[in-house]
Structure 1
């Protein structure tokens, strides 16, 4: 089995990334689009080339059956407005929204480039908890795209808590993972420990954009961060309060140090067939 290592060149200059930590106006798409317009202008003024929002930011996260009412196709009115915002501000935007595909609804995130054109749409693969599983159909693939000279992969919240998706995206050439999130209080170690480790083990930067505050009884954890490929926090947010994090990501500088962390090059995929085993099979063997 070949040991594939990405060969694409990262951007030669640092790319400044912004993420929004905020409480959505629950169920009010128009209000959330107005806020996105304001924040996109602020991020662009701060020199950012890419902006990422929290999970399901345009609809709100904890809105129950209203999710089905607000869901739109990937090329619907929400996408058209975000494209207009991106074009006017001159910034690429990755935003979370409920996507309608026929009778199904997905928990999705779409990437729009600075010219207002859609370049990638990702549907959350790992749905978290009974409510997400009730509302959404899971996605069935991982996606990468190019934004501002970087290879970009998109994951959503719970996806980053599994090692395999981030590794797949890194092997496909992602330099930066953008992760719209709705992490709740009580699981803060995901933001403080797991996300930095995921960045280091894959030699990618990660922008992890969470909600904050209480939304219809759901207490969001905040703690958004931009992690460097060595796991260091380039910018981090507190648990509470709206904040726009902005940080430059110099992938060329980190790639120059990859010889010290040759994790992708020294993988042994010929021995990793066990990753395809079902958990039940493992338990049966252990109990045999």
Structure 2
């Protein structure tokens, strides 16, 4: 079983002047990630456009197979690295806060729509998604997708664990002063649900928002095996399926569940 090297791209900060700016930066990040042996590059929530868009969200949103997706697919295929990126997705009259998973050959593998919208800003501009567990295989791992606030609900991560997710990828736009999420909560989620968790945040200021950075890859041992700083960064670490299986054998959380007692929690 082959470990998967994951690159977390935290940047660039600020709202890009156009998708071309963020896509050129993505192309450079993919080149650097591939040269370091990465098989997967993960970007932040709303990477293509920036997060603090206000009413421009509706104008900049595009379909899942739109020009942004086509350009990301070309970048993935050119560098031979799979990519997960955040973007505003238009579907008819609705706009979703979405994350798309592109394979290393440019194939669109999965698309996830954020199910738990954060705050008045997101509630005003986006429709909440209705499919919690979205997955696709990559090498020896099953990859699942969530976005930012979603991971702060233990039910969401546990649903992925029970559905067989090995690596949970979470494009993020976490603001200050909530650094406790990447520092404490994300490693705890990985430990309690026995999976790898790749958390790629934004950094710097956009409008009224100041993002915390601190992107990380947390393992089933509850340890952050890679940690970014608070500015633009590219960090790498491995998700090892053999180590994950060994951890699951040793850690009884999933085996010792008693779901017949949990009905009232829903």
| TM > 0.5 | yes
TM-score w.r.t. the length of structure 1 is 0.90
In structure 1, the gaps of 5 or more residues are: 1-11, 277-288
1:72 is aligned, of 44, 47, 62, to: 62
CA gap 1:112/1:248 in 2 versus in 1, 3 angstroms: same
Partner SS for 2:199: strand
Q: Is the 8 A contact 2:48 2:86 kept in 1?
A: yes
Q: Is the 8 A contact 2:140 2:241 kept in 1?
A: no
Segment of structure 1 superposing worse, 120-129 or 242-251:
242-251
Deviation at 1:27, TM superposition (A): 5.1
Alignment length (residue pairs):
264
2:147 is aligned, of 135, 149, 156, to: 156
Distance (Å, rounded) in 2 between the aligned partners of 1:158 and 1:216? 20
Q: Is the 8 A contact 2:157 2:189 kept in 1?
A: yes
Give the CA RMSD over aligned residues: 1.0
After TM superposition, list the pairs within 5 Å mapping 1:233-244 onto structure 2: 233-239=224-230, 241-244=231-234
1:20 equivalent in alignment to 2:21: no
1:185 equivalent in alignment to 2:157: no
Distance (Å, rounded) in 1 between the aligned partners of 2:15 and 2:150? 24
Partner SS for 1:257: helix
Distance (Å, rounded) in 2 between the aligned partners of 1:48 and 1:160? 24
Query: Which residue is 1:145 aligned to?
Result: 136
2:209 is aligned, of 218, 229, 243, to: 218
Deviation at 1:155, TM superposition (A): 0.4
Partner SS for 1:106: strand
After TM superposition, list the pairs within 5 Å mapping 1:138-287 onto structure 2: 138-142=128-132, 143-239=134-230, 241-276=231-266
Distance (Å, rounded) in 1 between the aligned partners of 2:48 and 2:120? 22
Deviation at 1:61, TM superposition (A): 0.4
Q: Is the 8 A contact 2:3 2:239 kept in 1?
A: yes
Deviation at 1:100, TM superposition (A): 0.1
In our comparison, the structure showing a higher alpha carbon Rg is: 1
Deviation at 1:148, TM superposition (A): 2.5
Deviations 1:243-275 (A, max 9, x none): 101111112123113232111111111111012
2:87 is aligned, of 97, 109, 112, to: 97
Query: Which residue is 2:116 aligned to?
Result: 126
Distance (Å, rounded) in 1 between the aligned partners of 2:76 and 2:139? 13
Deviation at 1:84, TM superposition (A): 0.4
Q: Is the 8 A contact 2:8 2:236 kept in 1?
A: yes
Distance (Å, rounded) in 1 between the aligned partners of 2:196 and 2:178? 21
Distance (Å, rounded) in 2 between the aligned partners of 1:102 and 1:229? 39
1:83 is aligned, of 70, 73, 93, to: 73
Distance (Å, rounded) in 2 between the aligned partners of 1:91 and 1:271? 43
Distance (Å, rounded) in 2 between the aligned partners of 1:210 and 1:274? 34
Partner SS for 1:255: helix
Distance (Å, rounded) in 2 between the aligned partners of 1:275 and 1:146? 31
